[in-house]
Amino acid sequence: MNPPASAPLPRIATLDCARGIAILGILLMNISAFGLPKAAYLNPAYQGQPALSDAWAWALLDLFTQAKFLAMFALLFGAGLQLLLHRGKGWIRARLTWLVLFGLGHGIFLWDGDILLAYGLIGLVCWRMIREAKDTFTLLKTGAVLYGIGVTLLLLLSFATDGTPGSFWQPGPAELQYEQLWKLQGGFEAWRNRVDLLSSSLLAIGAQYGWELAGLMLFGAGLMRSGWLRGHFAPAYYRRQAAWLIPLSLLIQLPAVALQWHLQWDYRWSGFLLQVPRELGAPLQAMGYLAMCYGFWGHLARWPVGRWLTQVGRMALSNYLLQTLICTTLFYRFGLYQQLDRWQLVAIVPLVWLANLCFSQLWLRYFEQGPAEWLWRRLTALGAGEGERHLRR
């Protein structure tokens, strides 16, 4: 029997912990996007052959973090949509619409690496598909098919490109200088450039990435409906899942990473075609990471780190925005942009994590929700027309 629409569901601690791990893990990917030009995100040779240490940093991050934690978060987002179905269409549509608006504000006024807009837009499409799915297998199958379409489109793009790298892959000195200017200067010039980048991102979502994101959300909803993300299976089962999912993912990706390095990240190969193995491996590795979390939850739950990660996950939106505020201040206000290599950027990540952990622990000592979550809930209640009954919660 479903709870009343007005009643909040009890929190699933393991789910919150996994969400906390995903939010912290995403920063390992994003830190290079904060501290380096946008071309450096996928191409360590954006200014010519990189130093050996920088190439190793790229390779390890590509194998273990790039796309994995985003895939993990997308699976959890889909699981959250499944849990929200009892609230009704008005609540879900209002909640996702506000997420889209948060993403627009975040992407234009704070940072061009926003993910909220994409999750909100695709969520608005997917929640009905999740609601109408007749059973768990339908959700899992549809999710796998949609993700496969996204990977296929990426493969087709690799054959359609003429092999000439654009500024997004190999910018010239003037382009790098201009990017540094508007990022450090801020203001209207930065907003205008972020709008341009947002437009390109929306095209990518519609043309290819949105298929993958939708597939992950539906698959995550299926994992929730099956009980996999509710922790209904034995810890040993989850550990066995992790033991084959993660190695399989690495086996798929390792040749492509080595080949990109060997080809010196030549755009004709690395721009699209050699991205395909990463996209194939990412959901497997994300599920492997989730399986590790669930398989070792008995230990995590007894350790302080388990409680801290759970608190970060309860405040996922607030902590994601906090990461943006900290990193944009460090790199754009204090002038660390383009001053650090990849290993030095990675060394900053634990300090930001510490801020996330401390902020979450202190805030939840006095409040039930993070500040962004509280605002999101209030605005959702207003948008859903549920008025004072929800505002008093």
Q: Which amino acid is at 252?
A: I
Residue 271: CA atoms inside 13 Å, Cβ hemisphere, count?
Answer: 19
Residue 116, both tokens:
């909220």
Residue pointed to by tokens 């654009």 = 166
Better pLDDT: 163 or 244: 244
pTM of the model: 0.94
Confidence of residue 9 (pLDDT cuts 50, 70, 90): low
Question: According to the model, what pLDDT value does residue 383 have?
Answer: 87
Residue 100, both tokens:
């889209």
Question: According to the model, what pLDDT value does residue 386 have?
Answer: 62
Better pLDDT: 202 or 166: 202
Tell me which of 147-151, 164-168, 238-242 is least confident.
164-168
| Secondary structure (3-state) at 46 | strand
Displacement of CA 136 from its chain's centroid (Å): 24
Q: Write the pLDDT tens digit of every residue in 193-250.
A: 999 999 999 999 999 999 999 999 999 999 999 999 999 999 999 999 999 999 999 9
Q: Is the pLDDT of residue 160 over 90?
A: no
> By C-alpha distance, which of 275, 281, 286, 282 is closest to 153?
275
Q: Is the pLDDT of residue 393 over 50?
A: no
Question: According to the model, what pLDDT value does residue 8 have?
Answer: 54
Cα distance between residue 295 and residue 41, in whole Å: 32
Contact, 391 vs 381, CB < 8 A?
yes
Q: Is the pLDDT of residue 3 over 70?
A: no
> By C-alpha distance, which of 97, 373, 147, 151 is closest to 276?
151
| Secondary structure (3-state) at 10 | coil
Displacement of CA 152 from its chain's centroid (Å): 21
Residues in the chain: 393
pLDDT above 90 coverage of the chain, percent: 90
- The radius of gyration of the chain from alpha carbons, rounded to an integer in Å, stands at 21
| Secondary structure (3-state) at 51 | coil
Span 377-392, average pLDDT = 73
Q: Is the pLDDT of residue 5 over 60?
A: no
Question: According to the model, what pLDDT value does residue 159 have?
Answer: 86
Cα distance from N-terminal residue to C-terminal residue, the chain:
23
Residue 208: CA atoms inside 13 Å, Cβ hemisphere, count?
Answer: 15
